[in-house]
Structure 1
């Protein structure tokens, strides 16, 4: 629907692209600077932008004619509107999680279920499927991952010894609300900057969060336990307005694609290492790992990857994104195949440590 609106407003789109300053080179051998505007769903110095800056730094080495003009984070456009800003050409590139635009592309509900690293998704055709879905629905080119390797973790004021949250309230995201409900808890929608106070005042009993980030809010000072195993994958995407992409010369397109592919392993390893460092920081502050029994751990994974998968609104997902059937086939599993390495970033912190060693 947004794509049809875009087609009816060519003058606005042209004006928007001029505003962004996307000076596209038309000659593969040209030395002209190509300026590409970028906005993020995260504040400039947020840890979730680390992957973006790794990409930008590598791009400066590989393609010095490309100038990345960072316009800002949520202060320039609300995170939940950023995907529409990219679709309309207000920014050439956006960096944001798929969870931020499941209303526009319901198939992005599937991203957290991925059992693959970004490198594997690039090799097995998953990336091409995401690109097709983004192009068909929003007129956007999907380029790759800016964040990966950060599983979700439950942080709690009290020790969790089984799969029962006893009706306690937990701050959740859209990715984890259903899991908290399934475990008998009550999800609470809170802005990140209010979570510390809510925990300190016992308004909520805990929070679900990506395994990198809680320390930036000081949450290790107001929770006592981090639950293992961890589940799902926290990812953010690099997407580009399709018209901006099509105006780029071949050399510049190749540089963007090749550089993202080159830096994704480093991004993945970076967030794995940050996960380990941050967990050590929690534990040094007195937080303890609440490791579930092996049976409960397997049940938790089944709830996350089998039950929650089956409960997705598949009719809506497939009717709006028929290509999502390929993602369903790529990600689907059954109980007998479900193992703890289902989580690309590691179900347990020891798994994450092993992954880092393998990538060295």
Structure 2
């Protein structure tokens, strides 16, 4: 009897030991599946340059190099989360990361609403301390700044009008719409500013609610402005304002090797995007001219005034919206000496 009991205890002890050895530790269990980062863009999925390109050239590449340890899950565009809600969605963890124009969430990250006015390329910003300085600002808002979702050269934004302009006085009184990033420009040019969601652009132009608006040629194309616009004004101005923030709590849970991979691939993507975008910009402008839209190339004097007024107006408006020293500090940070 005693021998049977002893044998029973040995079997139980061996069973418990086996279970202990074979059971995954908490850390192992947590890492048994891939880390998933859910991504949403402000741009529609049909937008080749602003949606499809980053998915193919950055996210798909990261997924491949991560070898199943990390997956960036592209959920979609504005149909998933309205663009003006993306910043809050990243901050509170509703989604993990997003491409967002700076004006759409500047209230959450004070100062970033002027990054499109930077004198530096994205490559230069990673070398001269601008990238790190922006990163600190994002961290205070509960986000990690991965980089510029669209690292463009100057001239990225353009004005689309239904009234012709040639000189400074022609801009006075124009009803101009767009995000708050452009309100300072509109006012400095002598126009009347109104806020429009990108999804409202086509209807506002078609119904004559505005005389024109400022946008990238890609967003303009995605929302069919070539069918409701008469003129495109050149030169263009500023860089893209799109940033790629990640929820900070989620970012901190990613193993360091995968964080390094994402940062490295983001920097490489920024360097490749600028020449690609310039080529695409010209092709998309041709879509407008092919549709019968007229290009208005301002004279050198008018062009100089137009770009300067647009930029100064943007800085002034930013200061009005965010009194204090944050905007002067940002101007010093983003301006070549």
TM-superposed deviation, 1:233? 1.8
Larger Rg: 2
C-alpha distance in 2 between matches for 1:258 and 1:310: 35
TM-superposed deviation, 1:80? 2.2
| 1:41 maps onto 2:34 in alignment | no
Residue 151 of structure 1 corresponds to 156
From 220, 224, 236, the counterpart of 1:214: 220
TM-superposed deviation, 1:132? 0.2
TM-superposed deviation, 1:59? 1.0
Residue 330 of structure 2 corresponds to 327
Indicate the SS of the match to 1:50.
helix
TM-superposed deviation, 1:189? 3.0
Indicate the SS of the match to 2:80.
coil
CA deviations 1:175-210 (Å, max 9, x no partner) are: 212222222222233343443344334343222211
Runs (4+) of structure 1 moved beyond 4 Å?
none
Indicate the SS of the match to 2:274.
helix
C-alpha distance in 2 between matches for 1:201 and 1:89: 38
Q: Is the 8 A contact 2:147 2:266 kept in 1?
A: yes
Q: How many residues align?
A: 304
C-alpha distance in 2 between matches for 1:94 and 1:194: 21
Residue 118 of structure 1 corresponds to 122
| 1:170 maps onto 2:176 in alignment | yes
Q: Is the 8 A contact 2:46 2:222 kept in 1?
A: no
From 296, 299, 302, the counterpart of 2:305: 299
For 1:94-243, what aligned pairs fall within 5 Å after superposition? 94-136=98-140, 138-149=141-152, 151-164=156-169, 165-243=171-249
Residue 5 of structure 2 corresponds to none
Residue 66 of structure 2 corresponds to 63
Gaps of 5+ in 1: 1-24, 338-360
C-alpha distance in 1 between matches for 2:200 and 2:318: 29
Which is further off, 271-280 or 192-201? 192-201
RMSD of equivalent CA atoms:
2.7
Gaps of 5+ in 2: 1-25
From 80, 83, 89, the counterpart of 2:87: 83
C-alpha distance in 1 between matches for 2:275 and 2:172: 36
Indicate the SS of the match to 1:229.
strand
Indicate the SS of the match to 1:37.
strand
Residue 348 of structure 1 corresponds to none
C-alpha distance in 1 between matches for 2:27 and 2:271: 31
Indicate the SS of the match to 2:40.
strand
